[in-house]
Amino acid sequence: MPDLKANLAAVRRRLAAACAAAGRPQSAVRLVAVSKTFGADAIRQAMDAGQTEFGENYLQEAVGKIAQLPRAGIIWHFIGPIQSNKTADIARNFDWAHGVDRLKIAQRLSAQRPSSLPPLQVCVQVNISDEASKSGCTPEKTPALCAAVAALPRLKLRGLMAIPAPGANEADSRAAYRRLRELFDARRQSGLELDILSAGMSDDLEAAIAEGSTLVRVGAAIFGSRSHK
Ligand SMILES: *Cc1c(COP(=O)(O)O)cnc(C)c1O
């Protein structure tokens, strides 16, 4: 098991340096620790080191871990792609969903969110890299989707999320994150109260923060490299 405490401290130092370089306070960027493929024990260790927000991609695996850990004190983010057959479990088990990229999915999440829970916090995922294979709605469709999601009763639209093309160099990922931020600014100017730009992972969090990210999703730099995906 890697030294999660040291890894988390190193990631927090990177966040602090990136925020300082961008002239932003460190409190402007939330850290979601992406614990996919790692067990409940690793999450407990990260919690002991002060981490409270965790991100998961694989629903079955995540639901098992959520059941093993105390519900209070952890904020769970679903960051994977969302198919229709997953919406009920996401709506029941998670606090956030970052991969909302079409209205049908949003409508199902809203209808299935239990009334005993606060609204599900949502980011609309945008495809900023023009990759046919990637999930995410097109930049052109983002305004209409955001407006429709914001109107759903059991969801709270918080912002936009994107994953740049894998292997992008720093200039390319900055350009992609800049396009995401421009879409975000335009939605805010249109009157939506958005505060979350979900952008940046282990390899590119500096680029994302330079372009205005307010939430980074960091896995490998905290938990170590994964054996798959
Ligand atoms: C796995 C994953 C991450 C974390 O990636 P790392 O490179 O391990 O930091 C972030 N966001 C999403 C959507 C992911 O699937």
114-151 per-position pLDDT tens digit: 999 999 999 999 999 876 656 899 999 999 999 999 99
Ligand 1 atom at minimum distance from 220 CA: 8
Rg (CA), the chain: 17
Instruction: Examine the pLDDT at 229 and tell me if it is beyond 90.
Output: no
Ligand 1 atom at minimum distance from 223 CA: 8
Instruction: Examine the pLDDT at 166 and tell me if it is beyond 90.
Output: no
The stretch 23-32 carries a mean pLDDT of: 96
The stretch 93-112 carries a mean pLDDT of: 98
Which residue, by CA, sits nearest to atom 10 of ligand 1? 217
Segments in 53-141 forming alpha helices (H)? 59-68, 87-93, 103-112
Instruction: Examine the pLDDT at 70 and tell me if it is beyond 80.
Output: yes
What is the predicted pLDDT for the residue at 132?
61
Ligand 1 atom at minimum distance from 221 CA: 9
Alpha carbons 121 and 84: distance in angstroms, whole number: 18
What is the predicted pLDDT for the residue at 167?
79
What is the predicted pLDDT for the residue at 131?
67
Ligand 1 atom at minimum distance from 218 CA: 9
Alpha carbons 54 and 65: distance in angstroms, whole number: 11
Ligand 1 centroid to Cα of residue 218, in Å, is: 6
Ligand 1 centroid to Cα of residue 187, in Å, is: 25
Pair 53, 31: CB distance under 8 Å? yes
Q: Which pLDDT band holds residue 226 (cuts at 50, 70, 90)? A: confident
What is the predicted pLDDT for the residue at 129?
83
Instruction: State how far the alpha carbon of 24 is from the alpha carbons of 56, 104, 170, 213, in Å.
Output: 27, 36, 20, 11
Instruction: Examine the pLDDT at 78 and tell me if it is beyond 60.
Output: yes
Alpha carbons 121 and 156: distance in angstroms, whole number: 5
User: What's the CA angle centered on 134, arms 193 and 225, to 5 degrees?
Assistant: 95
Q: Which pLDDT band holds residue 99 (cuts at 50, 70, 90)? A: very high
Ligand 1 mutation target, pool 7, 15, 34, 61, most atoms within 8 A of CB: 34
What is the predicted pLDDT for the residue at 134?
66
Count, residues in the chain: 229
Ligand 1 mutation target, pool 79, 201, 209, most atoms within 8 A of CB: 201
Count Cβ neighbours within 10 Å for each residue of 19-39 and write b for 16 or more, e otherwise.
Answer: beebebeeeebbbbbbbbbbe
Condensed to tens digits (0 to 9), the pLDDT of residues 44-62 reads 999 999 999 999 999 999 9
Lining ligand 1 with CB less than 6 A are: 34, 36, 57, 79, 163, 201-203, 217-221
Ligand 1 centroid to Cα of residue 116, in Å, is: 30
Average pLDDT, the chain: 95
Ligand 1 atom at minimum distance from 226 CA: 8
Q: Regarding predicted confidence, which is higher, 169 or 42? A: 42
Pair 31, 75: CB distance under 8 Å? no
Pair 13, 23: CB distance under 8 Å? no
The stretch 210-216 carries a mean pLDDT of: 98
The stretch 209-218 carries a mean pLDDT of: 98
